[in-house]
Amino acid sequence: MIRLIKPYISFAEIEEEFREVFDCGIFTKGNHVEAFRNAIKAYTGAQYAFLTTSATTALWLCLRVLGIQPGDEVIVSDFSFPATANVVEDLGATPVFADVDCETFTMPAEELERKITQKTKAVIFVDAFGNPTGAHTIKEICRKNHVPLIEDAACAIGSSENGVKCGNIADLTCFSFHPRKLVTTGEGGAITTNNADYARILERKLNHGAVRTDSAFDFIDFGYNFRLPELQAIMGIKQMEKLDTIIAGRNAIRDSYIKNLREAGLEAQKISGHAVSNIQSLVFKVPHGIGRDLLIAHLLKNNIESTIGTYCLSGTTYYKKKYKNIQKNALNLFNSLITLPCYETIDVEKVCEVIYAIGSS
C-alpha cells in the first residue's frame, strides 16, 4: 500500500530522551515541554507559545480568552474540519460561515467584508491544507473593524506569507500535531500570540486558573488541564529540527505531481506568490468527467491510499439543519477534491505508480 502520509520521525530518534524521562520520573511540565515551546517561538517568531492536547482545545481556549459567549457571532472559513466551527457552537456563539476562494480554498477579503457586522466578535481564518494565502489581507480587515483574528493553522506549521511565518500573523494562532501533520506528537496542539494580555490569560487557564505565590499557588480563576506531556514534547522537538527540510521535500513532490497530472486534467491548489505552503495535504481538483469517489475507490484497488480534501461545514448535517445557509464554493470543493500520497520516503517510482493509476481510471 502506498500510504497517504507517514510520520517524519522514528523511535530511534527519541529513544534516548524517552529513557531519560522514565529514569527521572518527570512526565509533565518538565524541560522538554519548555524546550518545545521555545522551539515553536524561535521558528515562528512569536513572543509566546503554549502547548495543548490538540488544535481543538487550542481553538476552544482562544475563544475563551476572547470572552466569546452566547449571542456573539464568529466568522469561520467554511472549508475546514468541523472542529473549527464546533468550538464556536460549543460556547453558544453563532458560527457565520464565510465561503472560500475556489482556487486557493481560503477565505477571500471580499467575503469577510460582506459577512462582518457589529455582532462579529472574532474571525477564524483557516490555512487550507497549509496554504496561508490571504492571511495578511484578512488581518488588515479585522484590524480596521477592531475584531480579533484567530488563525486556524492546524495544517500550517512552517507555512508563511509575505515572509512572516504562520504563528506570527494573527492575534492568536492554533497548530495541530495530529499524525497527519508534518510535526506530530500523536495528538497535540499549540497556541502562539504576541499579545501579552492574552498570554497571561493562557498561562493561567492552562494551569487550572493558578498563579504562583511565595509558598504555593493561588487559584484566581477557573482553568483546565489541556497540557502536553514530556514524551510528546520530545517527539515534537525532533521534527521541528528538520521542518524546513520536510517542507522542501513535500513541495518538490507537489511539483512532480503537477507536471505529470496536467494531461489528466487534475488542477492543483493555487498558492500565492507571496506565500509558502508546507503542503500538509497534497490536494487536486478532479475534473467533472471523473467521479472523485470513484477515483478514490480505483486507487484503493491499486493499493494507493487517497481521500477527500476536507468538509463544507455549512453542508454537514448538523449545520445544514440548524443554519440552512450552504456556501457554494465550499460545497463544490468538498465534492471535487482528492488528497494524494505525499511523504518523505515516497520515491519517483511510487509517484509514477499513482500517476499511472489515475491515468488508467
Given this model, what pLDDT does residue 244 score? 97
Domain 11-240 classification at class level:
alpha beta
Q: What does each C-alpha distance from 164 to 23, 58, 155, 231, 246 come to in angstroms?
A: 40, 21, 16, 30, 18
Domain with CATH 3.40.640.10 in the chain: 11-240
The alpha-helical segments, DSSP class H, found in the chain are 11-24, 31-44, 55-65, 83-90, 109-115, 135-144, 196-205, 230-240, 243-261, 292-301, 317-323, 328-336, 348-359
pLDDT class for 319, splitting at 50, 70, 90? very high
Given this model, what pLDDT does residue 214 score? 78
Query: How many residues are there in the chain?
Result: 361
Given this model, what pLDDT does residue 347 score? 81
Does position 315 have pLDDT exceeding 80, yes or no?
yes
Does position 79 have pLDDT exceeding 90, yes or no?
yes
The model scores a pTM over 0.75: yes
**d(Cα 315, Cα 88) in Å, to the nearest integer?**
17
**d(Cα 315, Cα 164) in Å, to the nearest integer?**
33
What is the DSSP code (8-state) at residue 128? G
Given this model, what pLDDT does residue 289 score? 82
Given this model, what pLDDT does residue 348 score? 81
Give buried/exposed letters for 63-80 (b at 16+ CB in 10 A, else e): bbbbebeeebbbbbbbbb
Given this model, what pLDDT does residue 23 score? 97
Given this model, what pLDDT does residue 345 score? 80
Q: What percent of the chain has pLDDT over 70?
A: 100
- 146's torsion region: left (phi>0), alpha (psi -120 to 50) or beta? left
Does position 269 have pLDDT exceeding 80, yes or no?
yes
Backbone angles phi, psi at 233, to 5 degrees: -60, -40
CATH superfamily, domain 243-359, is: Aspartate Aminotransferase, domain 1 (3.90.1150.10)
Grid cell in block for residue 6: 507517514
Domain with CATH 3.90.1150.10 in the chain: 243-359
Neighbours of 124 (CB within 10 A): 26
The amino acid occupying position 141 is: I
Does position 361 have pLDDT exceeding 80, yes or no?
no
Given this model, what pLDDT does residue 260 score? 87
Over residues 217-241, the pLDDT tens digits come to: 899 899 999 999 999 999 999 999 9
pLDDT class for 216, splitting at 50, 70, 90? confident
Mean pLDDT of all residues belonging to the chain: 96
